């Protein structure tokens, strides 16, 4: 499994957003990007995390950030999630799991003794030059945007 570290070049990617529009990390060259990975649309923890970014979106924009969420859900699922919670940022449909694998977040999980593969919740803060500035491994779903803002102080 890939283990990315702070200071490394963030892997570029090309995938579709919730509207089927092609999107890549290099599209955001010259901007700071919050790239957050989450397991599944419209589940309690993932909803709390997305809503934290939504509720503090204007503060994040003022700090110069673009916000991108990534899960292995498809475009239709992302559209419903965005509509239901009025999310103002793009969600990337990584149905072929290329992005989650490139970022080392496609991992073995264990729930009630059952092992399965899934997306680890993790946030990458990527600077204007495409370098990983900060990795947040222990995401506080209710305060995910606060964690990001605290990490840049």
Per the document, the length of the chain is 153
Angstrom CA distances, 35 to 4, 90, 110, 123, 130, stand at: 13, 10, 24, 6, 11
Q: Which of 15, 34, 35, 46 is catalytic?
A: 46
Residue 46 is among the residues annotated as catalytic for this protein? yes
128 phi, psi to nearest 5 deg: -55, -25
Give the distance, in angstroms, between the CA of residue 35 and the centroid of all CA atoms in the same chain: 4
* Inter-CA distances, 18 with 7, 56, 133, Å: 30, 21, 26
Q: 52, 144 in Cβ contact below 8 A?
A: yes
Catalytic residues: 46
């Amino acid at each position: 499994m890939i283990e990315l570290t702070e200071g490394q070049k963030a892997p570029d990617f090309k995938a579709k957003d919730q509207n089927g529009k092609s999107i890549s990390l290099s599209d955001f060259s010259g901007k700071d990007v919050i790239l957050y990975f989450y397991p599944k649309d419209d589940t309690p923890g993932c909803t709390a995390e997305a809503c934290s970014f939504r509720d503090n979106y204007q503060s994040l924009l003022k700090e110069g950030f673009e916000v991108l969420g990534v899960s292995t859900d498809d475009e239709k699922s992302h559209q419903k999630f965005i509509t239901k919670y009025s999310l103002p940022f793009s969600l990337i449909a990584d149905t072929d799991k290329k992005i989650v694998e490139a970022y080392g977040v496609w991992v073995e999980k264990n729930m009630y003794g059952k092992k399965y593969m899934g997306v680890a919740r993790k946030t990458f803060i990527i600077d204007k030059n495409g370098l990983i500035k900060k990795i947040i491994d222990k995401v506080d779903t209710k305060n995910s945007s606060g964690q990001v803002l605290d990490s840049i102080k």
